[in-house]
Amino acid sequence: MRRCGASGKDKVLKNKLLVCMLVGLVALSGCFGSDVPKPPPPAELEQQGFLYPDLPRITAEEFKLLYDKNEPYILIDARPRNLFLDGYIPGAQNIPNDPREDSVARLTQLPKNRLIVTYCDCMDDEGGAVAADRLLAAGYTNVKILWKGIYYWEEIGGEIRQ
């Protein structure tokens, strides 16, 4: 007569099934979140003509994760005021790289304990890179340039406000 509960064979099969399910979950977990592209390394950025290729960059996808989670950051739009008013990433402060304005003084009033992301509309990140370089020179340590700026942000479906 058979007892209630699993036989030795049944337990082995259940354990194998459990191991297969766990391996599958681990494999699938690698599929989510790892698809977020990273900016190219500095040598490649330099070959492509990016200004300040050694400065840290963040992709639009990486930034969107912060944006969607309402993570703390400061976003700086380094474009001229008229371009900012044409469309900007919500939450951005407009601090143009304009010698007629005291952008350095405005930049250095930002808190130093937050991530600061700079951007522009240049495909080579020029405006964002200049702002980031000024912040780093002023002693800020957690500064990143939004790689390919507002265009790439818009390309991935990021919100633009006018």
- CA–CA distances in Å: residue 46 to residues 1, 51, 138: 77, 7, 24
- Provide the pLDDT for residue 9: 55
- Provide the pLDDT for residue 7: 55
Q: Pairing mode, if any, of strands 74-77 and 116-119?
A: parallel
For residue 128, give the nearest of 117, 115, 138 by alpha carbon: 117
- Provide the pLDDT for residue 1: 44
Helix (H) or strand (E) holding 115: none
* 42-155 is classed CATH 3.40.50.920: no
Rounded mean pLDDT, 112-135: 94
Give the pTM: 0.77
Q: Quick check: 25 pLDDT over 50?
A: no
In contact, 119 and 78? CB cutoff 8 Å? yes
CA–CA dist 52, 60 (Å, integer): 18
Mean pLDDT is lowest, of 22-26, 34-38, 90-94, for: 22-26
Rounded mean pLDDT, 111-136: 94
